[in-house]
A and B are shown apart, each in its own frame.
Chain A
Amino acid sequence: MNLRRDVFQAIADPTRRAILLLLASQTLTAGAVAANFNTARPTVSKHLAILTECELLKQEQSGREIYYHINAKKMKEVADFIEPFRQMWDDRFNKLESVMKAYQQKNKDDGTKNEN
């Protein structure tokens, strides 16, 4: 079994992404989270456990209930994960810009030569 426990593992599953969305605006117990899904309760519990292990969720004991809430700091890692992808595109587009600028300049130079 794959025991990788990081944010990428966490968001790779659609149910887990749905749980994160649900908890983005509120704090809920495991039962309340499960009530939002057709999935069996133990399955939801398993997803909550993985999200907690990945540190995307934090548990808070309140009397007899355990409440789950989003760990905003860890969520930032999810936002950061597109950063290298963005870098790659930025590099590519910079290249496009410089190639086309060189072409533009060459045409201008040729134009000047023709005029002379």
Chain B
Amino acid sequence: MELKTKIKAEDGRQDLLITREFDLPVELLFKAYAEPEFVEQWMGTKVLKLESKSHGSYRFETSDAKGNVVFKANGVIHEFSPGKKIIRTFEMENAPFGIQLEIYEFEALTDDTSKLTMHVIYESADKRDQLMQLPFKQGLNMAHNRLQDVMGKLK
């Protein structure tokens, strides 16, 4: 099956372009990023703070089953245009990947479908490549585990 998510990562560049089309109206897609309760559900992280407005900031924290914090991230929101655009910084705490600038563009395709374009700019091409190489296998496992946890509760 072809994946719906497309990633353009040109060699030697310090940015990435991630695009994805959703079977959701653009308002709902935007809501998934703007409201803490939805971010918590799909990102599988605790939202300590999320000020969805221009010049706001956010903090995420994820703990394992024993309550140990395994992931911490934070950033500031530079621009927040409801239903259209979010520009924010993202920094994983206690990780060597530096800070990244994220530009999210939300677009309606039809009344019921939408498109997300995520432009991520890293501090350097090396930092981008490091980040793409190192944690993704772990991230993938985490996503699978989360899915299993959620489905497990439904049983």
Contact = CB atoms under 8 A, between A and B. Distances in A.
Interface in B95-139: 116, 125-126, 129-130, 132-133, 136-137, 139
Interface stretch (A11-19, A37-45, A60-68): A11-19
Given A21-B12, A99-B42, A89 B18 contact: yes
A92 B18 CA distance: 12
Nearest to B44: A95
Contact of B143 (A18, A82, A92, A97): A92
Contact of B129 (A11, A91, A101): A11
A8 B130 CA distance: 9
Interface residues of B, number: 38
B143 A96 contact: no
A87 interface: yes
A96 B136 contact: no
Contacts of A20: 11
Contact of A93 (B4, B126, B137): B4
A18 B13 CA distance: 11
A93 B41 contact: no
Contact of A91 (B23, B130, B143): B143
Interface of A is mostly: helix
Contacts, number: 95
B4 A91 contact: no
Contacts of B92: none
Nearest to A98: B42
Interface in A78-106: 78, 81-82, 84-97, 99-101, 103-104
A90 B4 contact: yes
Contacts of A94: 4
A103 to B, nearest CB: 7
Contacts of A89: 5, 7, 18, 20
Interface in B17-69: 18, 20, 22-25, 28-29, 31-32, 38, 41-44
B147 A95 contact: yes
24 contacts: A12-B129, A12-B130, A17-B12, A18-B12, A82-B7, A82-B132, A84-B137, A85-B132, A88-B140, A89-B5, A90-B3, A90-B5, A90-B20, A92-B42, A94-B4, A95-B42, A95-B143, A95-B146, A95-B147, A96-B22, A97-B23, A100-B29, A100-B32, A101-B23
Closest 4 CB pairs of A and B: A90-B5, A96-B42, A85-B136, A91-B143
